[in-house]
Amino acid sequence: MNICVLDGYTLNPGDLDWGSLSKLGNLKVYDRTMPSEIIERAIESEIVLTNKVIIDDNTMAQLPKLRYIGVLATGYNVVDIEAARKRGIIVTNIPAYSTNSVAQMVFAHILNIVQQVDTYAKEVQEGKWSNCPDFCYYNHTLMELAGKTIGIVGLGNTGMATARIASAFGMKVVALTSKTADRLPEGITPVSLDELLQESDIVSLHCPLTDSTRELINKTTLAKMKKSAILINTGRGPLVNEADLATALNNGDIQAFGADVLSKEPPTADNPLLSAKNCFITPHIAWATIDARRRLMEIAAENISQFIQGETIVNQINK
């Protein structure tokens, strides 16, 4: 069985072992693959793994041996699912592998903002504490999380994990969710979007990207938030209208923004959030802890093993 990984670098830049996949067949791993290189590299493969390389109907038509496409991520919009179904090609993904890592990043951003960790660490290096006449040095207002309200938009795996952490900090948790109150854990209150925006000290986005959620955060919804509010996005970049948010930050209409995702990645130099006030952006790394990536690799191998052995594939998308 020939297995081809088209863009393996982000999963494994060298700190993991491809052994769990190599034992399942003849494995070839490419760090990155341009669209023009896909056919040449995958032509002999029954199994192709991709993270961001797009595999459309035309590509499938040129890969006669292809029987299985494994997406090395949760989202699978890089594959034409209907075309694969018509061709009898199995498509799998890797759900819920990074839940705890993403929720951890939510609070990394929150804590950095409310405690100004990065700012103070830099100022200490610059000698500002050493030159301070007092035993402590601070010139930014710090905030305690206990007693504050966090509004979670979407209570899937990461939303729920974020809620648990928030509860441990002593925060009040409200959520925009399709789940009714009797189906929610104690301590989570379902509310409307307007209520969530108006009540929350921190808003954290965890909903899927759909037509109804695209640019959910925009000029109108931002105006409903507290001026002291913090917005966090570890979900999908297009959940936010970036121009509207940059304007709100620069005008002081909300306090701060922490994000691990943007509408275009990598961002273009003219993205307004790159120069906005109180805007803290990490380069789509919430998923990338070594623990989560190791878990992803193990699940990918298990998916392929189930396929090879003719078993029911737990994570098949196009059943």
Q: Point out the residues that are catalytic.
A: 236, 265, 284
Question: How far apart are alpha carbons 248 and 2 in whole angstroms?
Answer: 52
Q: Are 282 and 260 in contact (CB under 8 A)?
A: yes
For residue 155, what are its two tokens?
A: 């209570």
Q: Are 152 and 172 in contact (CB under 8 A)?
A: no
Please, what is the Cα angle at 86 between 85 and 87, to 5 degrees? 90
Q: Are 49 and 72 in contact (CB under 8 A)?
A: yes
Question: How far apart are alpha carbons 286 and 186 in whole angstroms?
Answer: 27
Sign of CA dihedral 194, 196, 199, 201: negative
Is residue 188 exposed (0-12), middle (13-18) or buried (19+ Cβ within 10 Å)?
buried
Which residues is 172 bridged to in the sheet? 149
Sign of CA dihedral 193, 194, 195, 199: positive
Q: Around Cβ 10, how many Cβ atoms within 10 Å?
A: 17
Q: Are 153 and 176 in contact (CB under 8 A)?
A: yes
**For the residues of 110-142, what is the DSSP string, one character each?**
HHHHHHTHHHHHHHHHTTTTTT-SSSS---S--
